[in-house]
Structure 1
Amino acid sequence: MSEPDLSELRERAENGDTDAADELVQLASEQSDLEELRRLSDGGNATATDELIQLATEQDNLEELRRLADRGNTTAAEQLAEIVGD
């Protein structure tokens, strides 16, 4: 996807287009784009948060899991505890 197309998709998602938001989450997940998933998650997208936790866990990204856990995400806290406990 070209950058202009991606920008348009982001704009649509920011304006409440759930299909655009879902497409962004899917693209970010497929590309292991931690930054995009973080942006979407921080914007309140629960699916992006789930994908972000999964990706951070796969990458043993303790910093990201800790950031999410500090914000009250119990799934991130559980994943963090599991990784640290190993």
Structure 2
Amino acid sequence: MTDRELSDLRARAANGDRDAVDQLVELAGERGDLAELRRLADAGSSDAVDELVQLAGERRDTAELRRLAGAGSSDAADVLAELAAGDDEEPA
């Protein structure tokens, strides 16, 4: 996707085009673009929040998970709890 296409997609999303938002979330998730996902989540995209939780969990990014949990994401809180429980387990 070119920079111009991405800019156009962002403009469509800003104007309420749900399909554009969905495309941006998918592209940002594929690229691992946390900044884009945060921007979309802050604009109200629950799909962006879900993608952020997944990426942060995979990266064991507890700071991001805490931020998301503090903003009300129960999924982020659950992943944090799972990570903490995993850290407490004794090695076999």
Which residue of the partner structure matches residue 7 of structure 2?
7
Which residue of the partner structure matches residue 68 of structure 1?
68
**Distance in structure 2 (CA, Å) of the matches to 1:19 and 1:12:** 9
**Distance in structure 2 (CA, Å) of the matches to 1:41 and 1:22:** 11
**Distance in structure 1 (CA, Å) of the matches to 2:84 and 2:3:** 38
Which residue of the partner structure matches residue 25 of structure 2?
25
Q: How many pairs does the alignment contain?
A: 86
Q: Output one character per residue of 1:29-81: Cα deviation in whole Å (capped at 9) or x when no partner.
A: 11111111111111110111111100110010111100011111111001011
The share of aligned pairs that are identical, in percent, is 55
Report which of the two structures shows the higher radius of gyration computed on alpha carbons: 2
**AA in 1 matched with 2:85:** G
Segments of 5+ residues of structure 2 without an aligned counterpart are 87-92
The offset of 1:4, in angstroms, is 1.7
Superposed CA RMSD = 0.8
Runs of 4+ in 1 over 4 A off after TM superposition: none
**AA in 2 matched with 1:46:** S
> Does structure 1 residue 46 correspond to structure 2 residue 61?
no
Give the TM-score taking structure 2 as reference length. Answer: 0.89
Segments of 5+ residues of structure 1 without an aligned counterpart are none
